Amino acid sequence: MKYFLHKMTTNAVFHRQLSAFCYGVLICAGFWLPLTASFAADATAAPAPAKIKIVLVGDSTVTDSAGWGLGFKQFLTGAAECINTAQGGRSSESFRREGRWTNALALKGDYYLVQFGHNNEPGKPGRSTDMPTFVSNMVSYVEEARAIGAKPVLVTPLTRRQWDKDHPGKIKSSLAPYAEEVRKIAAERHVPLVDLQARSIELCESLGPEKCLEFSPPKVVDGTNTGGFDGTHLNEKGRVMFARLVVEELRKAAPELSPVLRVEPVDAHPVAKEAKYDAVVSADGSGTHTTVQAAIAAAPDDAAKPYTILLKPGKYGGQIIVPKSKRNIRFVGEELENTVLTYGLNVNEPNPGADPRYRGIGVVVEGDDFHAENVTFQNTSGDHGQALALRLIGDRAVINHCRLLGWQDTLRVDAARQYFTNCYIEGRVDFIYGSATTVFDHCEIHSKNGGHVTAANTPQDRPMGFVFLDCKLTGDPKPWMSPEGTPANTNSPPKADLGRPWRAYASVTYLNCELGGHIKPEGWNNWRNPTNELTARYAEYHSTGPGANPAARVKWAKQLTDDEAKAFTVEKILGGTDGWKP
């Protein structure tokens, strides 16, 4: 009895299980309403029991959009919550390498259901593993979940519908070796096991090939229905069908969870959040397209309303162009740091396959009304030539909560109007440049190894060019290292200026910005041409921080008065003749 009481007070998982059990028993016994009534007058009633937290870990066959994850959530009572951390295209190794397992552990779940195998198979660069590595990974999942006081549950991989030509109606699963190793680990380490491989084969064989097509999504390659079926992933009917198998096995493997597992789902045909998007890009094939360019091509020309493309986590390489005919394109990344549009060449390097007009540029947007949110744009070429992560040409672009990474000329904005908010933009030389009227609102502008923050070439007849509102300017003195290990551009102190004029009438203004100590006291640069001092329109208002030094600024730059600063609002800067309000 003493041991039992000790366990009750020290084991959080047990505590939640007991609370959930009592909760379930009371409901099933019909006592809920009487109990509610009898305790209604008690103002000091105990708070509701903490929910049991179940965390799902795995590949696309566990996700809400293409696997059984969303279906599993339909079987949970209100006494449990499920967080699905599964990610398409990940193996037991790459999931860990990307830090996803660390993030999953940080959720402090009570139970971790772990399923891998599909992407460990041969032929998947960056993901495939040998069997010893797979086993080592799976053992680590078990041990590390237990180390935080959680209970791991191993799940053998959902079968692929691989029909055996020599034995009609039978499945010959390429995942069988992975399932067998998971069974061994579960037996040797006394881990609860959900044998989804065996149960899913049993179900599929009982239904036969034709019936299995009912829960198999159509085979879509870059937006084109091939007429075939996807024999790995699940549609909305399959999500619940195979989740039911997981729940049945989980009741047996972890019977203490039975009170929080429903017999029937809340929704027999749940719709994944991805359904609200016009296109879904996922490198593993679980979306509508495998490349961003293919998703753009599928958008209607001159669209009157937004065409929204969900970008699943992954690195999407190669040049991407949004043509002028593709208006209202919207990129929405699922994870900021892990949804990366990357390019690795500068203007001086061979750019095979790139548009010759746009050498050294990762993403080019010609179309109007472009939006991007939660996406990383990067050019990895380094500090040895112009290498753009993003070039905006179209009007009325909005970039929200994005990262722009590079060294030289990271961002070019041309001719039109753009609005950046809550973004991180980094580089060394002229890493924000162009002729546009652009507002940077509450952004971090990060200089690497000194250099020049801006290089505007604002037309003379345009009243405003680049305007930074409530931004933070930070710096890092470390230089770029070449592949040979040689540091680049180390001749001058790693200090930066706020801008230099690419053309005579450059217009750049900083209002209420915090400037780091990396900013030079003089603040501005005339690009070795004193004549520019007569025409460049450079100004600050209420700069703060160690880099704010009005008394030391060049005499040809301006400190705005309160009345002059009132003209610099987003609406006044970007409104134009059409009254645009980003």
Q: Nearest 10 degrees: CA dihedral of 402, 276, 83, 281?
A: -60
Catalytic residue among 64, 110, 368, 430: 430
- Is 166 among the catalytic positions? no
Q: Which residue from 156, 255, 141, 257 is spatially nearest to 189, judged by alpha carbons?
A: 141
Residues 416/436, Cβ–Cβ less than 8 Å: yes
At CB < 8 A and 24+ separation, what contacts does 129-133 make?
A: 129/91, 129/92, 129/93, 131/177, 131/178, 131/181, 133/92, 133/93
Residues 92/129, Cβ–Cβ less than 8 Å: yes
| Cross-strand partners of 342 | 317, 378
Residue 514 CB-density burial (10 A; 0-12 exposed, 13-18 middle, 19+ buried) = middle
- Is 409 among the catalytic positions? yes
| Cross-strand partners of 474 | 446
Please give the angle made by the CA atoms of 464, 503 and 514, to the nearest 5 degrees. 50
- Rounded Cα distance, 64 and 476, in Å: 40
- Rounded Cα distance, 83 and 246, in Å: 16
Q: Nearest 10 degrees: CA dihedral of 181, 146, 154, 57?
A: -120
Residues 419/582, Cβ–Cβ less than 8 Å: yes
Which pair of tokens denotes residue 489? 């551009």
- Rounded Cα distance, 463 and 442, in Å: 22
Catalytic residue among 302, 409, 461, 563: 409
- Rounded Cα distance, 471 and 466, in Å: 12
How far is CA 460 from each of CA 146, 487, 537, rounded to the nearest angstrom?
Answer: 66, 39, 10
Instruction: Give kind and range of the element (H or E) at residue 13.
Output: helix 12-28
Provide the CA 117 distance to its chain's centre, in angstroms: 23
Give the active site residues: 409, 430
